[in-house]
Structure 1
Amino acid sequence: MRGIYAVFSLTLVLGCNIVLGNEKGELLEDDQSSTHGSACAKGFADCNGDPRDGCEARLSEASHCGACDVRCGAANAVCAAVGDDRFACLNGCPDKALAICNLQCVDPMTNVANCGECNHACPTTQNGEALCYQGKCRVACATGYHACGARCVGPSDATACGDSCTACPSGPHSSAACDKGTCGIACSAGFANCDGDMQNGCETSVFEDAKHCGGCGRPCGNSTRCVGGLCLPWGGMTPNGD
């Protein structure tokens, strides 16, 4: 299984720049000056000669079968694998390729562009890589992310929290939160979850509640009231000095 991270291919020619590319050899970055091409991964080629789109041609397709501009047709209409990352025009597919999709031999059990059937492409996702496993689309997530359906989500995603992909609840004066796979809530300014119940949100106004003045469990005395989170005497000063 390929990793989801980009694989960098380096091309260094005397007087030229180092070119960085992904697993197809596509350019990822340069200094906007002249480059001298990039090394293509096996099974790909730069058939249009344009370094901006890297190695855009798949050598497993009938339009570039095994090499640029080698087109399959007539008696040998199918592009099939004949070795490790090598392809040639044949009149049929090998045993392991169970389907012909767009004149290409594919294994629908593993082919992400034709997963389960021709032209059923597995969707791409952020922070992960699409896979085809036993004819069903799957996703392999980057380190630090976990799969929730076809998505790869982070450990603080409140819409899919933890391995169970729980949608975290929220209530009044709060927003849903996820911390290291556990649901919680984030309170709005001036409010707190003093009863510990996420379903009713942050129910306590710590600016006004005399039992929780300035924070949970901080009661004011009998002769004081809670004003702006401070316990002040009845009829006495306010936080503004009025």
Structure 2
Amino acid sequence: MSRSERLLALLQVLRRHSRPMSGQALAAALDISLRTLYRDIATLQSQGAMIEGAPGVGYVMQPGYMLPPLMFTPEEIEALALGLRWVADRGDVGLAGGARDAMAKIGAVLPAPLRRELEASAVLVGARPKPSPATVVAQDRLRAAIRAEHKLRIVYRDPQGTQSERVVWPFALVYFDEARVLSAWCELRGDFRNFRCDRIAQAEVLDARYPQRRQTLLKTWHQRVRDSGRTILPEFGTMPS
């Protein structure tokens, strides 16, 4: 591994951890000596990386630092291309536009050979039926409520066509090829529920924030799923019919 590759690898390890990592753990992850690690950390700090810590205490990198030009392996380039193309094709208006903008921004800072690899990547997204405009608008509104941690008033239609009005605390939007699913705490049922986006007839973002943090709801939901042993909807619960 070259020194530049080693520095990029160190940045990646630090980015993946929000808590301080010991020098020993970082050195072991990179298969280098502690002396080399300390030297590499000093180099990154001199280049503007916001790495905090000290020997014997541990190291953590504050968010917001990038080391241009970005460097990716061929597999990482293909993963980026496939993921962004999938979102551009299958996301709502906001997500699709964000994916295209992200592709352009990443391409702009890549070295020329990697930029050509990104633009000419052979991993493609297959064709699919386009969602209805009403569903697209609803998803955009749902994501806004999730980000703001605000309650939603929805009109939901069950498989038999019966409609009910709910106030829910949305915390996740799960993307399947065949459906989009809102995971939320339902005030009517007093429990977690999943709602297919194509059955949400109306969605209104309320001014009121829900009383728990989104991360707390998500953590509780994950634990509920693990305890129940359900796997139909990975990490979120059972898929609604």
Q: TM-score if structure 1 supplies the norm length? A: 0.22
Q: Which has the higher strand share?
A: 1
Q: Which has the higher helix share?
A: 2
Q: TM-score if structure 2 supplies the norm length? A: 0.22
